[in-house]
Amino acid sequence: MAAIWAPPPCGASTSSPSPSFIHSRMISSLTRVISPPCVFSPEGLLRSQPKSWRNRRFSSVAAAPFDFSPPPIDHDVVDTAVVAGAKVSEDGIVETYDNDDEALYAADNGVAVVDLSHYGRIRVRGEDRVPFLHNQSTANFECLREGQGCDTVFVSPTARTIDIAHAWVMRNAITLVVSPVTCKNIVETLNKYIFFADKVEIQDITKQTSFFVLLGSKSSQIMEDLNLGDLAGQPYGSHKHYSVNGMPVTIGVGNLISEEGFSMLMSPAAASSVWDILLSRGATPMGSNAWERLRILRGRPAPGKELTKEFNVLEAGLWNSISLDKGCYKGQETISRLITYDGIKQSLWGLYLSAPAEPESPITLDGKKVGKLTSCTLGRKESGYFGLGYIKRQAASEGSNVVVGDGITGKLVKVPFLANQRPPPPGSSA
């Protein structure tokens, strides 16, 4: 049972959360004491308290996991960003804080925080939710327990990639985080595969929730400072529920782009407080432009770029998201054949580039086409350029020099996201 942290009584209200936010059946099991100046209920999160408060240790009380059903409240983190001078798109996405290089440096060497509330969140409920997702995606959900999580891939029947989903297994639901461009399609596809007798409910909760990620080698230190250090060192996808100003926040290990860092799911009403707390603890804000640069530099495939109908899930290198020994699921037959008969024809690589190149540009080696570019961005500190591209296996080796498009030179390199994938030993069969 998850622990909810609460401070000692300090003359505050002990009223229960609204049933519209936390399911009414959970209220009887939730004990919390909220002090008006308190921000987070764990210790160390009291940015407005007297100094004597900041060294107090708080007791934990048991509570049922939160069931996110918040009302649609305006997401005011964007308003705060605008006041701070950030540039915001017409869709309300913070594009940049005019600190992209600083944010990238923090993601590598310190702590950065990104508001990814434009990413899709899908809640899968019902008694049959586990076998349903087990059959509709590549991961083994039947081996996961409450409080655990994983990455899974939605694929076509021929194992062509649709998207990577980050999944949290909660007591009453499984929450999926997916890319903005695929959320609607995934919801529609999942609903299409619910049969009459299936006890499964699919709900898009993107607008009812906010989602942040913490990046960087020192993100665990911030968690320790906020008395949330019990998550540090836990397996990827592990998550727990906490309280901020009496509102639930789920925090998980991993940040979509790597297994270090953390992810945070909350009500929009709690988002501004959480954001301010993270910045006050030294996190550098990162906009979507820098996030996209980081995605390419780290090598995480994205829908419409590396994840398309043209490439299968094994060519994309998503081994950690695939179960090779579970029962029948969509795309399994193709995946099994590819592994058994060594049928993977190309693989995804990083490329150092001498100049910017357009995605879809051909990649050649010794005058012969061996692949194509899928993404391109500025390198770190605006020095050079970096891309991702698929290269034929027989032509691909680290350090190989290639030509991209019309005379742009490139050098093949491994990228962290793909280097951390764990393929089966040679000769294994699915």
Specify the CATH number for the domain of residue 399.
2.40.30.160
Burial of 8 (C-beta count, 10 Å sphere; 0-12/13-18/19+) = exposed
The candidate with the shortest Cα–Cα distance to 85, out of 96, 76, 75, 74, is: 96
pLDDT-derived band of residue 307, with 50, 70 and 90 as boundaries? very high
Torsion angle (degrees, nearest 10) of CA 67, 69, 70, 75: 90
**Residue 219 domain-assigned?**
no
Banded pLDDT at 12 (limits 50, 70, 90): very low
The pTM for the full model equals 0.83
Q: Which of 167, 183, 204 marks a domain boundary? A: 204
- The count of domains in the chain is 2
Domain range for residue 168?
120-204
Neighbours of 129 (CB within 10 A): 21
- Give the pLDDT band (50/70/90) at residue 286: very high
Mean pLDDT, the chain, rounded, equals 84
Instruction: Please check whether residue 254 lies inside any domain of the structure.
Output: no
Where is the domain boundary, 182, 204, 226? 204
In this predicted structure, what is the pLDDT of residue 63? 38
Q: What is the pLDDT of residue 61?
A: 31
pLDDT at 382: 64
pLDDT at 428: 62
Q: Pick the residue with more confidence: 83 or 362?
A: 362
Statement: residue 5 has pLDDT above 50: no
Flag whether 199 is in a domain: yes
Among the three residues 204, 221, 237, which one is the final residue of a domain in this structure? 204
